[in-house]
Amino acid sequence: MTLAEFYGCSFLAFGPPAAMFALTIAHDPIRIIILIAASFFWLVSLLLSSIVWFATYPFDSRQILALLCSVLIQETFRFLMYKVLRKTENGLQEVTDIVRIADYRHILSYATGLGFGIISGAFSLVNILADSVGPATVGLRAGSDVFMLVSAAQSLAMILLHTFWGVIFFHSLDVKNYKYAAYVVASHLFVSAITLLNALQQFAVTLTISYLILAVTAVMAFHVVGGTLASFQKFITCK
């Protein structure tokens, strides 16, 4: 049972991102490099967030403070990743067979967001997955028996959100329409804060809100890259 739970939660959290990587990233070395670089940037932001966590140890409300600082640090490094990409566009143009790297920007922002998402999902779920293989399982005497399933579903939501946030954030800076960037930061803060309800076992509330924001963010990301209802209908009908 524990092994089945491990594989089930793993495939739930990382199945869609793995498919996205295989279908849209793996065939292009530039996208792979960008994804790995974005993952490194997120890891550095995690390091700085952990420093904040230990620095606020004496405070009773350090969890909320650390959450706030962590989100702001992650978004700062998303901005730094944007600046790095824009500074290296000329170099990327020389090593890629794409005609114009400017027309490729939304793909790079997508790769960046997916890199942020995959590594954040891995760090948020790896310890839970390690515990899921046994020798016991959650929920027999204390805690919720759906904790691991909920954790996997929440990790999937955060991975996809980071992907869409990356697209929206980069577009916002490109067109200097900063309301989109403000939405990214605000929604990141809100989704992260709402997960604190999991301590009260309000899993239904947390997941419902997270996936509603995910749906809104997905539509927004689709819109900023030029998607329309007509193009979506053509995609669905394979025309």
Instruction: Please state, in angstroms and rounded to a whole number, the distance separating the CA atoms of residues 213 and 11.
Output: 22
Question: Using one digit for the tens of pLDDT, what is the confidence trace for 35-79?
Answer: 999 999 999 999 999 888 888 766 656 678 888 889 999 999 999
Cα–chain center distance at 21: 13
pTM for this entry: 0.89
- Asked whether 114 and 20 are in contact (CB, 8 A), the reply is yes
Cα–chain center distance at 43: 13
Q: Output the pLDDT for position 103.
A: 58
Per-residue pLDDT of the chain (239 residues; tens, 9 = 90+): 577 778 888 899 999 999 999 999 998 888 898 999 999 999 999 999 988 888 876 665 667 888 888 999 999 999 999 999 888 877 666 656 555 555 577 888 999 999 999 999 999 888 888 777 766 555 545 567 778 888 899 999 999 999 999 999 999 998 998 999 999 999 999 999 999 888 788 889 999 999 999 999 999 999 888 877 777 777 677 66
